[in-house]
Amino acid sequence: MLNRAKQNGVRLGLITCLLLALLLAAAPAYAAGDVYRVELDGEISEYMVNYLERAYGEAEAAGAEAVLLNLDTYGGYVASAVSIKQIIMDSDIPTYCYINDKAISAGSLIALSCDKIAMKKGGSIGAAEPRSGEEKADEKVVSFWTAQLEGAAEANGRDAELAAAMSDSTVVIEGLSEAGKLLTLTAEQALEHGMADFMVESDAEALAALGIDKAALVEVDYSFQEQASKLLANSIVSTLLLSVGIGSLVLEVFFAGVGVFAAVGVTVLALYFIGALLVSYTAWIAIALAVAGLVLLIMEIFVIPGFGVCGVLGIGSIIGAVICVAPSFSVAMLQLGIALAVAVLLVFISLKCGRTRRVWSRLILQDATSTAGGYVSPPPTINQLVGKSGVALTDLRPSGAALIEGKRTDVLTEGSFVKRGTAVRVIRVEGSGVVVQPMEEETAN
């Protein structure tokens, strides 16, 4: 019996070892000595900060030998670039940069923060002047940004004056930059002046030049959340979403009761603020303002007639939310200005469009008197409508249209708001105006 117990123990041990071997074989082959590759392409924004924090966390946990940045960008936001610089310089893992074409503007700071820089032939680095919209940023911002570039260059043994000339057009480098011109270096110039260490054609060549080509290259992919935030937080996409969202809500106010514009506006604005929330979990105040603004505008459109307190407060809340989530106040003002221009353009186009003109005609009385055409008295049969009942075809705010005696008739109320589909009765006729009252009010009386 004892022998049987020993045999069972041996079998159990073998099975356990086999299972462990299978688990280890199925596990990712990440190990100490790997090189973690992260790709930074497109606009430098806050989503990249989140991505890099995760990538460096994984690399440090695995004991990686190095991090390789594959960089190709025209630049982006100053605050995001400074955060990325800090992540790179605070890490104990060496960071090497391969400029796969260009490291312009904010990309220059990221590249200069790395221990070594390899550039693709024909690539470029520089032109890093900070800007506010289309204008050069104020002196304080330029001074701060220039110091960031100088500090990153000095920390890695590069020429701080060349780094300063990339962001400050008053810095002149003989033979490279003139007064009033920003410094941009080609790969050959960067290599010649010590701003780059190697000129290569691929990641593999960069690793070979660095002497770590024997290490396994681990690709750090973007998560779904990071990919979504990369798309939604892009400056062009976010401005487009804000413009379409606000423009649609403005159209809904003009063509009340349609519903389609409100649905589009709320959906698109939701995407705009979701993009901000994916990038920063501290955007809850802005989200609360945005939700409050949308609720107030929906109340103004569908519940409360006219354009009053709810509409003003709703617009104010959305503007406040945009200011909170935008990278800067100037960016917020630029996006809101573009959104307002788009809204005005959409209203103009809609009024010119036949289909929306028919919608508009449902909201106003179609009968009109004209001094040019002379006054035309209303048809005598109009007085016969007094006492007749029908149903509101549109919201009456207070004017609109109703179906009375099987015919579409322009009507108005005594000032009250009446929802579409409400049963109404003609209480009197004043000139060409047919005044109606909800039948439910008669019941209450």
| Tokens matching residue 383 | 């007085």
Do 190 and 80 share a structural domain?
A: yes
Closest CA to 269 of 253, 296, 248, 255: 248
Q: Judge whether 80 and 44 are in contact, CB under 8 Å.
A: yes
| Residues 6 or more apart whose Cβ sits within 8 Å of residue 120 | 98, 99, 100, 101, 187, 199, 200, 201
| Residues 6 or more apart whose Cβ sits within 8 Å of residue 81 | 44, 75, 106, 107, 109, 110
Amino acid letter, 305: P
| Tokens matching residue 126 | 């520089």
Tell me, yes or no, whether 3 lies in a domain: no
Tell me, yes or no, whether 88 lies in a domain: yes
Do 266 and 207 share a structural domain?
A: no
How distant is the alpha carbon of residue 341 from its chain centre?
Answer: 18
Q: What is the pLDDT of residue 319?
A: 84
| Tokens matching residue 259 | 């519903």
Q: What is the pLDDT of residue 157?
A: 94
pTM: 0.65
Residue recorded with tokens 């708001």: 417
| Residues 410-445: b if buried by 16+ CB within 10 A, e if exposed | bbbbeeeebebebbbbbeeeeebebbbbbeeeeeee
Q: What is the DSSP letter of 92?
A: S
* pLDDT, tens only, 303-312: 665 556 777 7
Do 280 and 137 share a structural domain?
A: no
pLDDT surpasses 70 at 31? no
**∠ at Cα 158 (154, 159), nearest 5°?**
90
Do 382 and 349 share a structural domain?
A: no
Tell me, yes or no, whether 12 lies in a domain: no
| Residues 6 or more apart whose Cβ sits within 8 Å of residue 126 | 104, 108, 166, 182, 183, 184, 185
Do 126 and 208 share a structural domain?
A: yes
Q: What is the pLDDT of residue 195?
A: 95
pLDDT surpasses 60 at 179? yes
Number of domain units in the chain? 3
Label residue 302 by pLDDT band (50, 70, 90).
Answer: low
Lowest mean pLDDT among 102-116, 243-257, 426-440: 243-257
Q: For residue 164, what are the domain limits?
A: 24-222
Omega of the bond leading into 94 within 30 degrees of 0 (cis): no
Do 352 and 236 share a structural domain?
A: yes
Label residue 92 by pLDDT band (50, 70, 90).
Answer: very high
Amino acid letter, 68: L
Mean pLDDT across the chain: 80
Using DSSP, how many helices (H) and how many strands (E) does the chain show?
16, 15
pLDDT surpasses 80 at 207? yes
Secondary structure percentages of the chain, helix, strand, coil, to 5: 50, 20, 30
Do 300 and 191 share a structural domain?
A: no
Tell me, yes or no, whether 169 lies in a domain: yes
Q: Which string of DSSP letters, residue by residue, matches 161-199?
A: HHHHHHH-TT---TTT--TT---EEEHHHHHHTTS-SEE
Look at the chain and count its residues: 445
Do 133 and 40 share a structural domain?
A: yes
Closest CA to 44 of 220, 230, 322, 238: 230
Over residues 53-81, mean pLDDT: 92
Q: What is the DSSP letter of 421?
A: T
Do 309 and 172 share a structural domain?
A: no
Over residues 171-180, mean pLDDT: 86
Residue 166: other Cβ atoms inside 10 A:
30
Do 393 and 347 share a structural domain?
A: no
| Tokens matching residue 312 | 């003003």
